[in-house]
Amino acid sequence: GIVFPYQPPRGQYRLNFHEAEQVCQDQGAILANFNQLFQAWSEGLDWCNAGWLADGTVQYPIRLPRKPCGGVHLAPGIRSYGPRHRHLHRFDAFCFSSALKGEVFYLDRLAGMTLEEAKQSCQDAGAEIARVGQLYSAWKFLGLDRCNAGWLADGSVRYPIVTPRANCGPAEPGVRSFGFPSKGRFGVFCYRER
């Protein structure tokens, strides 16, 4: 499976535990457990924002110790805030997906598309706009590699890179994010059941 950090459109640390469960479901995934997060960390996940796990704890994986992520003198590993109040405390989420039942594909127009045009383009192609979990799953399980940014169902713009190259972001594979642009014209990632 694959673990991916999720931050909602309204910004960092906005989700209580129950909202974190719901956003993972909305993205075609579930809240990750500690073993899944540990496995993702061992495969290279490095994320400085704390997120909910399925047991109600809040943790984050660090491969490269640095000042804003617990300090430079701590060893790499999973940083833990321990259990937190499930209604009152707010963090991001670590979501987990283990399967992809369909295909994710990219559509574009010369001038790009707004989010609404992107949703319609997927419908016209007999599909729906892809969710974040579906894009991460297509990247991890099917090797989806696209150096073109595309809309996703939550209003974010992202693209998956398997083979890092010039002008496609950092030197490591991963799903890159442009955040949640309020305007702009991009391609779109669509999802179709098999």
Chain region(s) in the chain for CATH 3.10.100.10: 2-96, 99-193
Tokens for 121?
């383009």
Radius of gyration of the chain (CA): 17
Burial 117-153 (b: 16+ CB within 10 A, else e): ebbebbeeeebbbbbbbbbbbbbbeeebbbeebbbbb
| pTM, two decimal places | 0.93
Q: Does domain 99-193 have CATH number 3.10.100.10?
A: yes
What does each of the 194 residues of the chain score in pLDDT, given as a tens digit?
999 999 999 999 999 999 999 999 999 999 999 999 999 999 999 999 999 999 999 999 999 999 999 899 999 999 999 999 999 999 999 999 998 999 999 999 999 999 999 999 999 999 999 999 999 999 999 999 999 999 999 999 999 999 999 999 999 999 999 999 998 999 999 999 98
> Regarding the domain delimited by 2-96, which CATH topology (the fold level of the hierarchy) does it fall under?
Mannose-Binding Protein A; Chain A (3.10.100)
